[in-house]
A and B are shown apart, each in its own frame.
Chain A
Amino acid sequence: MKTRTKKRTGTLVLAMLLAVLAGCGSNNGANNDVNNGANSGGENASASAPTSSTPDSGKKVTLTMMVSGTKAPDGQDFALDIMPKLVQEKFPNVTLETSKLPDEQYFTSIRTKLASGKGPDIFWVFPRNASLGVLDMAKAGYAADLSDLTFWDKISQGAKDDMSYEGKPYGIAGGLDYLGVYYNKELFTQAGITEMPQDWPAFLEACQKLKDAGITPISLADKDPWFLQFGMYQIAANEVYPDEMDFDTKLQAGEKSLTDPKWVDTISKMKELYDKGFVIKNSLGLGSAQAAQQFVDGKAAMIFDGTWDYATMTAKGAAEFTRGFFSLPANEPGQPTYVSAATAAGFALNAKSENLDIAKQVMNYLFDGQSDLFKAWTESNSSISVYEGVPLNHELFKEVNDSYLNEGKSVYFPNQMWPTGVAEEMEAKFAEIIGGRKTTPEQVTAAMDAKFKELWKQ
């Protein structure tokens, strides 16, 4: 009996101690908040306004966030390290728990979580119809209508539209991404290419010159099937869409099909690169990291990739050289080159979350255009910003970006208008061509079309 009382007292003391400690903790938090408010008030009058309106300051809230991608290789990762810290500073009662998974794992995990009602408060969605696209998420009732966020006038209209369902925004685009060709300027000079190719015959000629000079023209990672899209969509942008920008709308309405001669031509042009030996040999055995290594080591003159891989493509390799970036000129002579550009993935809020209002406040703070959080976001973001007044992040993309801004000739990535599975079918079927099977471009488009018809239910 006696020991039991002792134990009970002990527990009581422990509990009290914890309570005292917890009290200290929350006091500290409040102090921080006051300091912060004072600081930002001194610097900028308008910044203090939202601070004072922070509601529920007593109630502790834990927000969860899940994004896709890989952790920043050096230093602090925005989603994992910086954002939780800065959100806590601004909203002392809010703890932000974040996790980041590679794309594939993210897709699987987030769908299961959402379907079982355990979705995170903030998650990552992709534009339009892409895998985990905003349309699907809004239609299924998982993504919340974000019309009442305060910063929509600062985001470019195109980016907002790509993240909208029935005219209302359901996602906040992380930026804009271009597909293009990273190239090695020294190797181009060495092969005697004096002028950048402006059309498809000129591009083939440049590849031939590189090959004749004993340089592998293009490094591609066909062991990762999705890599094929990086070249294919740039060709499609110049082949399928220029005189028929509503091709995919017609496709969805059943008026057009993927067996269209324009798609056959697209596949044939890609095939041409393999047939003529311009693509690195054994590309089917190379993963994306290995193909990128070939490029940064100066062993291949070009690689098809997107702006999001800037860090990988500019990493230090075995060779020192100057990088360039251009849109693949898959156009016929005399025609303009279309840029393959698409809205990047971005934040969505869970419509079923209890903390939707607080999540919205966090988003308003993140995109207020002046906070430390906003600055950290723009610095870490590898996509090209669609937020008013944010300068281009990398000089390398200037040419393509200028052409996009000035001429406005651009096409989105086709898979954003396809149901998930069509691009995969294209990759699997095209791999047969790469692997030396007797598959024809017509068979590839037929397979794509069959898959599209199977999956497209509207």
Chain B
Amino acid sequence: MNSTVMKKTLYLFALPALVFYLLFWIFPIGKLFQYSVTDFNGYAQTFNYIGFDNFRDLFQGGTLGNSIRNTLIYTVVSVVAGNLIGLGLALLLNMNIRGKGFYRSISYIPTLFSAIVVGFIWSYVYMPDSGMIAAFLTKLGIPSDNLNFLGSYSTALYSIIFVEIWKNVGTTMIIFLAGLQTVPNDLLEAGRIDGCGPFKLLRYVKLPLLATSITINTTLSLINGLKAFDFPFIMTNGGPGTSTNTLIYSIYKMAFTEQMFGKASALGIISFLIIIVITAVAVLLMNRKEVSA
């Protein structure tokens, strides 16, 4: 009897948090849906309801397709390359080598900087002629005249993806490293007795047991990639042209430069759906592959 009373009162304790959650999280999201069917410009108090015109314009215009393509490239490359590099680093740093604590710290340091700092530093690394890479190549006697990482259509997107990976590989590595240390020694020994080489041990023992870490890492970098904004914003302004416009960057530009809050809200909703669908599918697929030790 007593416990039900307790339960009811306990709900009251959740109330303040719930109110805040509804007010500052759910309500603004509701507003987003409202604005997506208006021509709200972001500051004037009067606006008109224009039905689904915003969505229609988006599907007809080139921005949506271009941003989705850039975002998907960004995501796929950063998920695949980021996880492979992270796994490789974790395997290396899991070996018994001298000074492994030092190496582990070194590879985690980039994660500790904010994206603004990293983006700023890297735009100087990439700078044509006098940037770090160009200067280094010149020292080696390799001509670096046409080196223009951020200013060329073919390389700009991949150059910022590289920075994204460089910054996040620390986190990925730490999670894999933790996963590797939970691999029981007896399983590894049993594998060796059965005649497994290092590669077979990795393929048939370590990787299946790392499935949880792989799920976590993939999901994290998937979400990270799909909502990529910082590096295009800091390093390229979405340029050259629109070649590094990601979904979120396009929303920002539409809302704050072009003053089309309504249309930007509509794009926000579309991105929201895309991100949810992709993440859900990925998580479901990977959950099936997990095994327990």
Contacts and interface: CB of A to CB of B under 8 A. Distances in A.
Contacts of B153: 432, 435-437
B143 to A, nearest CB: 13
Nearest to B39: A457
Contact of A285 (B145, B149, B241, B259): B149
Contact of B237 (A224, A282, A432): A224
A141 B243 CA distance: 38
Interface stretch (A106-114, A120-128, A334-342): A106-114
A142 interface: yes
A431 B128 contact: no
B254 to A, nearest CB: 8
Interface string B237-258: 1111111000000000100111
A290 B151 CA distance: 14
B257 A131 contact: yes
A38 interface: no
B127 A285 contact: yes
Nearest to B259: A420
A282 B148 contact: yes
A223 B258 contact: no
Interface stretch (A170-178, A402-410, A421-429): A421-429
A222 interface: yes
A455 interface: yes
Interface string B135-154: 00000000001111111110
B42 A115 contact: yes
- Kindly state the interface size class of chain B when it binds its partner: 20 to 34
A163 B272 CA distance: 41
Contact of B241 (A111, A420, A428): A428
A3 to B, nearest CB: 32
B239 A431 contact: yes
B176 interface: no
A419 B240 CA distance: 22
Nearest to B237: A225
B268 to A, nearest CB: 16
Interface in A210-266: 222-225
Contacts of B126: 285
B241 A142 contact: no
Interface of A: 107-108, 111-112, 114-115, 131, 136, 139-142, 222-225, 281-287, 290, 419-421, 424, 428-429, 431-432, 434-437, 454-455, 457
Classify the interface of chain B: helix, strand, loop or mixed. loop
B293 interface: no
A111 B42 CA distance: 7
B258 A281 contact: no
Nearest to A439: B241
Given A115-B43, A139-B44, A285 B151 contact: yes
28 contacts: A107-B257, A108-B256, A111-B43, A115-B42, A115-B43, A136-B43, A142-B43, A223-B239, A224-B237, A225-B237, A282-B146, A283-B151, A284-B150, A285-B128, A285-B148, A285-B151, A286-B128, A286-B151, A290-B127, A420-B259, A424-B258, A428-B238, A428-B239, A429-B241, A431-B240, A431-B241, A437-B153, A457-B39
B9 interface: no
Interface in B196-217: none
A125 B271 CA distance: 33
Contacts of B148: 282, 284-285
Interface of B: 39, 42-45, 57, 123, 126-129, 145-153, 236-243, 253, 256-260
B31 to A, nearest CB: 12
Contacts of B257: 107, 131, 420-421, 424
B240 A434 contact: yes
Q: Please indicate which of the listed interface residues A224, A284, A424 has the most CB atoms of chain B within 10 Å of its own CB.
A: A284
Q: Please indicate which of the listed interface residues B237, B241, B258 has the most CB atoms of chain A within 10 Å of its own CB.
A: B241
A222 B241 contact: no
Contacts of A108: 256
A190 B253 CA distance: 44
Given A284-B148, A285-B151, A223 B237 contact: yes
B236 A435 contact: no
A292 to B, nearest CB: 14
A254 B238 CA distance: 31
Nearest to A433: B241
Contacts of A139: 44
Contacts of B129: 282
Contacts of B239: 223, 225, 284, 428, 431
A107 B256 contact: yes
A358 to B, nearest CB: 24
A223 B44 contact: no
B77 to A, nearest CB: 21
B216 to A, nearest CB: 34
A141 B260 CA distance: 19
Contacts of B127: 285-286, 290
A435 B240 contact: yes
B258 A420 contact: yes
Contacts of A431: 239-241
Closest 7 CB pairs of A and B: A284-B151, A285-B151, A421-B258, A282-B128, A140-B44, A431-B241, A285-B128
A429 B239 CA distance: 10
Contacts of A107: 256-257
B150 A285 contact: yes
A287 B240 CA distance: 12
Contacts of B42: 111, 115
A282 B257 CA distance: 26
Contacts of A225: 237, 239
Q: Please indicate which of the listed interface residues B44, B123, B149, B260 has the most CB atoms of chain A within 10 Å of its own CB.
A: B44
B124 to A, nearest CB: 9
B45 A222 contact: no
A270 to B, nearest CB: 15
Contacts of B243: 435
Contacts of B259: 111, 131, 419-421
A142 B145 CA distance: 51
B150 A223 contact: yes
A101 to B, nearest CB: 13
Nearest to B62: A447
Given A115-B42, A281-B145, A428-B239, A223 B57 contact: no
Contacts of A428: 238-239, 241-242
Contacts of B258: 420-421, 424, 455
A457 B44 CA distance: 14
B151 A435 contact: yes
